Amino acid sequence: MKNNTSVLSPFIALCTVGFFARMSYAMARTPLLPLFALSLGAGPEAIGFVVGASTITGIFFKLPAGTLSDIYGRYRMLFLSVLVFAFTPFIYYLVTSYWQLVSLRFFHGLATSIYGPVAMATIADIAGEKKGERLSTFSSITIIGNLIGAPLGGYILKYLAGNGSNSVHHFHSAYLVCGIIGLISLGFTVKLTNSGRPETIQIKNSLSEVWRKFFKGIREVVSDYRIIITSNMEGIQNLSVGALEAFLPIYAVTVAKLNPFLAGILWGAQVVTTILAKPVMGRISDRYGRKPIIFSGMWICAVSLACIPLTQNFYFLILLAAVFGVGEAFVTSSSAAMVADFCKEQNYGAAMGTFGSIFDIGHASGPILAGFLLSRLSYQYSFVIIALLLIVSSFIFALKVPEKTHGIKQEV
């Protein structure tokens, strides 16, 4: 068991960096991004693609980033990711066309592609038997950045537009604010990396040895079906998150006739319940098991998602968004910790990279799938189809993945 005092300072530092980085990134994404794409003339399928573009980057880069952190150390990779968080938002000021926006979103996705798996692997390194609690607490604190970022972006658009409609210049101004917040995260990262703490791993090898370790770590992780199926639960759940993230603002503004600020508040309601529930559910999963929590969370997300198109009332929409957030907390509080339970400690980076890549496949597919469905079907039928995917995957998980005996060190 690791000493809790010794891990407190780097854990708090990681949470602080994550808070500001995710605030900047969330503000750049919801509701700014889909509304920016709409202002550039994009239709439903194009909006789904641009929202999913940055997540597609993660599909290809999270696994290599996590594995490289196993070889070269966590803090170097963290610093690289925060550089992208800090400076990319300023480039949005140059965007005047849809395809420029798509290209920039692919690049911006490098930030979370590197940061996500490396930060989780770092916490898994120092969390001991409290992986569920520590990973969930970290996630909740970074999600607070999402909670602030989404409504803040909507408020800035509403303030700049007044009683009129938003212009491209209004979106440029909002992204400048995103960049300033990103620079704050960079400042805390510099302090963390200069604090004199040793890297988790310090290795100097030949190129051939690096490649050998790289592919060995990947092979050991991806050959474990328990890791793949458990990661798929997060991926499928995040398919529904991606769909809601892209089209809840559009539904709120165009169907429910709400303003952009209230559209951001809807997403904030989902984020609040996720923040509050995740640490509690992570602690419960550490003590009593992760499998029932993941299974229940998939159902909660499915039912609430399917019900959203049944109402245009702001308060009912808030309630449904909040219930969806509870379901998300159930799944995400336990899935990453369960993957770590199944993994060898020296491969935490590769495991979190695999987990993150599958996470991003789902997150990227959600807006794209929802955009495809909405171009042909109503919101009601489109959201029901996505909800059914969650239900089917929950039964596959229940039948195929055994619950690891809690409290017993995983043999390696």
Provide the CATH number for the domain around residue 216: 1.20.1250.20
- 169 pLDDT tier (thresholds 50, 70, 90): confident
* DSSP H helices in 308-378: 314-341, 348-374
Tell whether pTM > 0.75.
Answer: no
Per-residue pLDDT at 407: 44
In the chain, % of residues over pLDDT 70: 87
Q: Does residue 408 lie within any of the structural domains?
A: no
- 389 pLDDT tier (thresholds 50, 70, 90): very high
Number of domains observed in the structure of the chain = 1
Higher-confidence residue of 411 and 224: namely 224
CA dist 70 and 61 (Å) reads: 14
Residue 181, φ and ψ in degrees, nearest 5: -65, -40
Ranges 213-217, 307-311, 407-411: which has the least confidence = 407-411
CA dist 108 and 120 (Å) reads: 20
* DSSP H helices in 42-198: 44-72, 74-87, 98-127, 131-161, 168-193
Is pLDDT of 302 > 90?
A: yes
pLDDT 10s digits, 14-61: 889 999 999 999 888 878 888 888 888 888 888 888 887 877 787 788
Ranges 74-83, 101-110, 208-217, 219-228: which has the least confidence = 208-217
Q: Does residue 240 lie within any of the structural domains?
A: yes
Per-residue pLDDT at 252: 86
What is the chain's Cα-based Rg? 20
Instruction: List C-alpha distances in Å: 89 to 106, 115, 174.
Output: 13, 16, 9
Q: Does residue 411 lie within any of the structural domains?
A: no
Per-residue pLDDT at 245: 81
Ranges 8-12, 85-89, 93-97, 361-365: which has the least confidence = 8-12
Q: Does residue 120 lie within any of the structural domains?
A: yes
Per-residue pLDDT at 409: 40
279: preceding bond cis by omega (within 30 degrees): no
Is pLDDT of 126 > 70?
A: yes
Mean pLDDT of the chain: 81
Q: Does residue 304 lie within any of the structural domains?
A: yes
CA dist 68 and 124 (Å) reads: 16
Ranges 57-66, 71-80, 189-198, 350-359: which has the least confidence = 189-198
Q: Does residue 409 lie within any of the structural domains?
A: no
pLDDT 10s digits, 229-254: 888 888 888 888 888 888 888 888 88
Average pLDDT over residues 165-189: 88
Q: Does residue 410 lie within any of the structural domains?
A: no
Average pLDDT over residues 63-75: 79
Per-residue pLDDT at 212: 65
pLDDT 10s digits, 206-234: 556 656 666 666 666 667 778 788 888 88
Per-residue pLDDT at 56: 77
Q: Does residue 405 lie within any of the structural domains?
A: no
- 406 pLDDT tier (thresholds 50, 70, 90): very low
| Side chain identity at residue 271, one-letter code | V
Least Cα distance to 117 among 31, 170, 57 occurs for 57
- 392 pLDDT tier (thresholds 50, 70, 90): very high
> What is the domain range of residue 244?
4-400
Is pLDDT of 378 > 80?
A: yes
Q: Name the most confidently modeled range: 144-153, 323-332, 397-406.
A: 323-332
Per-residue pLDDT at 7: 45
Instruction: List C-alpha distances in Å: 276 to 136, 138, 321.
Output: 10, 12, 14
Average pLDDT over residues 87-114: 90
b/e per residue, 139-158, with b = 16+ CB within 10 A? bbbbbbbbbbbbbbbbbbbb
Per-residue pLDDT at 412: 31
| Side chain identity at residue 320, one-letter code | L
- 391 pLDDT tier (thresholds 50, 70, 90): very high
Average pLDDT over residues 272-293: 84
Number of CB atoms found within 10 A of residue 285's CB: 27
Is pLDDT of 200 > 60?
A: no
